[in-house]
Amino acid sequence: MDPEKTNNAASYYTSFYLHGVDDKRRLQIPAKWRPGEDVIEFALVTWPQSKEGTCLRVLPPKEMEKLMAQLEAMANADPSKVPLKRYIGTESEMVTVDKAGRICLPDRMAKAADITNEAMLVGLLDKFEIWNPARYERVKATDSLMAAEAMRLMG
């Protein structure tokens, strides 16, 4: 059994990969990030960032289920519940990994994240993000500054 895969799903999304995006907006998913199932869908969500810009957050089925559970656990009286559900509902797409290990980025999402001919896939351990490479370099610089302090606090 491949140690990177458990229950037909990638156990961790680690490292980062620069991949080309073809003229049909198809993007290769790293082999070790692909589940072993014949058909797999990821939830692709336009994820607004602060000053660095937008990226696409990719949620495997288990993470999408967690997100749905968090939304449903919010009190119905919470005024942010419906707008949040509406935002995620309208700013997400289910994408299927094809036999060649690629997903197709919807046009509106690729435009929002400014992804054209290259994309940086960045592991977040339980999910991953797809970035415009230049935007990711800015995020990486900011993350590096914060990481030292965060690691110190972890002990």
What CATH code is carried by the domain that includes residue 79? 3.40.1550.20
Counting the structural domains of the chain, the total is: 1
Q: Report the Cα–Cα distance between both ends of the chain, in Å, rounded.
A: 33
pLDDT confidence tier of residue 11, bands split at 50, 70 and 90: confident
Residue 120 phi/psi, 5-degree rounding, is -105, 120
What Rg do the C-alpha atoms of the chain give, in angstroms? 16
pLDDT confidence tier of residue 38, bands split at 50, 70 and 90: low
Instruction: Give yes or no for residue 2 having a pLDDT over 50.
Output: no
Q: Which residues of 4-39 are buried (b: 16+ CB within 10 A; e: fewer)?
A: bbeeebbeebeeeeebebeeebbbbbbebbbbeeee
Q: Region of 69 please: left (phi>0), alpha (psi -120 to 50) or beta.
A: alpha
Q: Which amino acid is at 101?
A: G
Q: What is the pLDDT of residues 111-130, one digit of tens each?
A: 999 999 999 999 999 999 99
Q: What is the pLDDT of residue 149?
A: 77
Q: What is the pLDDT of residue 37?
A: 66
**What is the three-class DSSP state of 133?**
helix
Domain holding 63, by residue range, is: 5-154
Quote the percentage of the chain above a pLDDT of 70: 89
- Residues 63 and 10 sit within 8 Å (Cβ to Cβ): no
Q: CA 29 to CA 20: how far, in whole Å?
A: 11
The counts of H helices and E strands in the chain are: 4, 10
Q: What is the pLDDT of residue 70?
A: 95
> What's the whole-number mean pLDDT along residues 129-138?
95
Kindly state the tokens that stand for 113.
């994240």
- Residues 124 and 63 sit within 8 Å (Cβ to Cβ): no
Inter-helix orientation angle 81-90/61-73, to 10°: 160
Q: Which amino acid is at 93?
A: E
